[in-house]
Chain A
């Protein structure tokens, strides 16, 4: 059985995969992942009659997203690795989000405030994960597509902008969370480098050009 969890956004979600089915439990966290994650893991194992010995792999989304959320997920995964002696893998959270829809052109978007985003595009046209102004997405899809699916939370301002300025129809979808970790893993999109992928330096480092 594979255990996967995502704490990079405001939703805390845990999934298990037995080789056939993915079972997911999620909770609106309001960034209280620290108190929610382990009880959620304990519950999903118990409700599905699994014991710790059944866990063969642990996969965690390691960013981008909330810096603290990323670390809660990665630290929890490392504790499992030490205690259970099982392999650990990571999935990029933008990749994870991209499995929330089957549409032809999908953009995973994490709102980093002040018009900045962590984002990537998937499907018929692709754009690798980046952290920059939302305008990068705008100019990337401009003239190439008639409709697009945006995946993420707190992204209505971006949807509005696209509809108004580019006359492209936008479909907004919420992330399926850790279920996407399993799907990405099954798709071969995962890594054994589990350390956080913040995609952004700290403010202190930026100020000092470190």
Chain B
């Protein structure tokens, strides 16, 4: 049995979790700053960093308390060290380093995107690579071919806005609160898919995305008298149609039928019902593990731990993903 503590502070959520054997969540604490950043209409990096440093201690304390294990049983400390807001990342990274050092256990730097994919190992105990992973969140729209645990290759990414970012921007146009995703989804329930928006699929062999054109089109039609709920429904539908088409394309190109969806947008019910139409095995993490959390970092870190891919004390934080 391997018990790891995991810490995630890459954006506006301060998280800690205890994970057993990379599959079982013993505790998963998420301290969201959404209410704070609402005042600014988006995440302000310095404000986020300031909140991380004042909450990290209590978040880690709660994660250990609720897990039912004692601190001496922790065999390694995993922490997100890329990609993300550098000031936010550095709080988790600095804390994790001195904690791992003083406990005398390995430190494991984890890629946040690897974490989103690994979230699926937690809810779906039987899931094994290989599979295609698609991360859909406020910061990412990335395709990965996952060959083995913790071994993946990027096969596509957004060329401009991440899908969640496009939702946030359209939400702002529709005067909906931040974060936009759930609000656009709710408004769209009352609307009809009645407005033609560009179905941007790029080159025939491309697994990249581009969402900024759709967002710009929405901007242009804002004063044309359409009902906001119809705009929301049409926008959402167009985005998910693109996602569905790209998934089909990716599976065909990689000759694989298993797809893992991750990231905050994976919790959208309209997306899920659209993807049910595909003749593929589509796997989602638990809704609670779609958005940023530390349990997923523990799940990803477990495989690095097993392979002894430890980080040293000079480990840094990076705003970009290294792959």
Binds A, one of B19-27, B47-55, B180-188, B266-274: B47-55
Give chain B nearest CB distance to A55 CB in angstroms. Answer: 8
Binds A, one of B94-102, B159-167, B195-203: B94-102
Is there contact, CB below 8 Å, between A75 and B87?
A: no
CB closest residue in chain A, given B317: A34
Give chain A residues whose Cβ lies under 8 Å from the Cβ of B60.
Answer: 82
Give chain B residues whose Cβ lies under 8 Å from the Cβ of A38.
Answer: 97-98, 101, 313-314
Binds A, one of B38-46, B220-228, B248-256, B285-293: B38-46
Given A39-B313, A68-B90, A71-B90, A79-B46 contact (CB < 8 Å):
no
Is there contact, CB below 8 Å, between A35 and B314?
A: yes
**B239 on interface, CB distance cutoff 8 Å:** no
Give chain A residues whose Cβ lies under 8 Å from the Cβ of B317.
Answer: 34
Is there contact, CB below 8 Å, between B102 and A84?
A: yes
Give chain A residues whose Cβ lies under 8 Å from the Cβ of B53.
Answer: 71, 74-75, 195-196
Is there contact, CB below 8 Å, between B96 and A79?
A: yes
Give chain A residues whose Cβ lies under 8 Å from the Cβ of B90.
Answer: 34, 68, 71-72, 75
**A186 on interface, CB distance cutoff 8 Å:** no
List residues of B (51-102) whose CB comes within 8 Å of A's CBs.
Answer: 52-54, 56-57, 60-61, 71, 86-87, 90-102
Is there contact, CB below 8 Å, between A34 and B94?
A: yes
Given A34-B317, A205-B47, A71-B94 contact (CB < 8 Å):
yes
Is there contact, CB below 8 Å, between A202 and B56?
A: no
Give chain B residues whose Cβ lies under 8 Å from the Cβ of A198.
Answer: 50
Give chain A residues whose Cβ lies under 8 Å from the Cβ of B314.
Answer: 35-36, 38-39
Is there contact, CB below 8 Å, between B102 and A79?
A: yes
List residues of A (65-81) whose CB comes within 8 Å of B's CBs.
Answer: 67-68, 71-81
Give chain A residues whose Cβ lies under 8 Å from the Cβ of B91.
Answer: 71, 75
Q: Do most interface residues of chain B lie in helix, strand or loop, or is the interface mixed? A: helix
**A188 on interface, CB distance cutoff 8 Å:** no
CA distance A35 to B103 in the complex (A): 19
CA distance A206 to B314 in the complex (A): 35
Give chain A nearest CB distance to B170 CB in angstroms. Answer: 23
Give chain A residues whose Cβ lies under 8 Å from the Cβ of B39.
Answer: 208, 210
Give chain A nearest CB distance to B125 CB in angstroms. Answer: 31
CA distance A198 to B315 in the complex (A): 25
Give chain B residues whose Cβ lies under 8 Å from the Cβ of A35.
Answer: 314-316
Is there contact, CB below 8 Å, between A82 and B46?
A: no
User: What are the 5 tightest A-B residue pairs by CB atom distance, in nearest-first order?
Assistant: A83-B102, A79-B98, A75-B94, A79-B99, A38-B313
Give chain B residues whose Cβ lies under 8 Å from the Cβ of A204.
Answer: 40, 44, 46-47
Map CB proximity to B onto A34-77 as digits: 1 under 8 Å, 0 otherwise.
11111101100000000010000000000000011001111111
Give chain A residues whose Cβ lies under 8 Å from the Cβ of B315.
Answer: 35
Give chain A residues whose Cβ lies under 8 Å from the Cβ of B92.
Answer: 75
CB closest residue in chain B, given A58: B98
Map CB proximity to A onto B9-46 as digits: 1 under 8 Å, 0 otherwise.
00000000000000000000000000000011000101
Q: Which listed residue, B47, B57, B316, touches A78 by the CB 8 Å rule?
A: B57
List residues of B (175-219) whose CB comes within 8 Å of A's CBs.
Answer: none
CA distance A54 to B94 in the complex (A): 21
CA distance A39 to B49 in the complex (A): 23
Give chain B residues whose Cβ lies under 8 Å from the Cβ of A37.
Answer: 94
Give chain B nearest CB distance to A74 CB in angstroms. Answer: 6
Is there contact, CB below 8 Å, between B313 and A195?
A: no
Is there contact, CB below 8 Å, between A202 and B87?
A: no
Is there contact, CB below 8 Å, between A67 and B46?
A: yes
CA distance A79 to B40 in the complex (A): 30
Q: Which listed residue, B71, B98, B316, touches A77 by the CB 8 Å rule?
A: B98
Give chain B residues whose Cβ lies under 8 Å from the Cβ of A74.
Answer: 53
CB closest residue in chain B, given A82: B99
CA distance A106 to B5 in the complex (A): 46
Is there contact, CB below 8 Å, between A34 and B313?
A: no
Give chain B residues whose Cβ lies under 8 Å from the Cβ of A81.
Answer: 57
Give chain B nearest CB distance to A79 CB in angstroms. Answer: 3
CA distance A110 to B319 in the complex (A): 28
Q: 14 pairs across A/B with beta carbons < 8 Å?
A: A39-B313, A52-B102, A71-B49, A71-B52, A72-B94, A76-B95, A78-B95, A79-B95, A79-B98, A82-B60, A82-B99, A83-B102, A204-B40, A208-B39
CB closest residue in chain B, given A69: B90
CA distance A79 to B96 in the complex (A): 6
Is there contact, CB below 8 Å, between B316 and A34?
A: yes
Is there contact, CB below 8 Å, between A71 and B313?
A: no
